[in-house]
Amino acid sequence: MRLTKKSHACVRLEKDGRTLVIDPGGFSEQDAASGADAILVTHEHADHFDEGRLRAAMESRPGTEIWTLKSVAEQLAAAFPGRVHTVGHGDTFTAAGFDVQVHGELHAVIHPDIPRITNVGYLVDGGRVFHPGDALTVPGVQVGTLMLPVMAPWNKISEVIDYVREIGPRRAYDIHDALLTDLARPIYDRQIGVLGGAEHLRLAPGASAEV
C-alpha cells in the first residue's frame, strides 16, 4: 500500500490501482480528493470536510463514493443518491478494495463549554493504517501505521506521546500538523520519537511511503 501525505489531516492510500482518500478538508490541497475511487471523512470540521471540494470530486468522477458519519452524509446524500454512505462505530465495509472498520464516536474535548460533535476513525486493511480523525481513539488491535494528530486546539504533546504508547504502532506519521510551525517541528520530532516507543516519522505534503 502506498501512502501519500497531503497537507494537514489528509492522506491518500493507493493499492492495486485504486485510491482511497481520507479527510480532504479545507486545509489540504484544492485537488486532494481528485481522482479518488473512495473518500472517507472523519467529521464535519472544515479542516477535514470541505463540501465544495467533495462535490467537485464526485461530479468529475461518477464512480467515486463517500463513507462518513451522519452530519456530513446528510449534506451530500441528496445530490449523489446511492453514493454517500453513513457509518458509525463498529461498522465494517469495503471501499475501493480497502477493508475498513469504523472506531470511535466523539470528537476530543476542545473546551468544556464547546459541545462535542461526532467523530469516527478508520482502520484500514485490518490495522495496516489507522486514521483517528480528531480524537485519540484506541482501536484495540495491532496497528502498523498510525496517522498521529500532533497539533490541535484539543491536544497537548504529553497526550500525543501517551497515545502512541497506548496504540503501540510499528510507526507513526504526523497528521493534523498545519498549525505546527517549522520552528517547533524538531521539538515534537525529538520528544515523540524518544518517548513514544515507536518509530516516529514525518512526510512533507506530496511525499509518499510504502506501508
CATH of residue 187's domain is 3.60.15.10
DSSP run (H or E) holding 84: strand 84-86
Say which residue the cell 486532494 belongs to. 32
- pTM over the 0.95 mark: yes
Domain count, the chain: 1
Distance between CA atoms of residues 181 and 175, nearest Å: 13
| Residue 207 placed within a domain | no
* Average pLDDT of adjacent 10-residue blocks, the chain of 211 residues: 98 98 97 96 98 95 96 97 98 98 98 97 98 98 98 97 98 97 94 96 96 96
Q: What was the pLDDT predicted at 137?
A: 98
What pLDDT is attached to residue 163?
Answer: 98
Which pLDDT belongs to residue 155? 96
Least Cα distance to 184 among 208, 167, 164, 160 occurs for 160
Query: Is 169 a domain residue?
Result: yes
Cβ(96)–Cβ(13) below 8 Å: no
Phi-psi region of 199 (alpha: psi -120 to 50; beta: other; left: phi over 0): beta
In a domain, 124, yes or no: yes
d(CA 107, CA 172): 20
Report yes or no on 210 lying in a domain.
no
Q: Find cell 472498520 and name the residue.
A: 101
Q: For residue 109, is it within any domain?
A: yes
The predicted structure's pLDDT at residue 101: 98
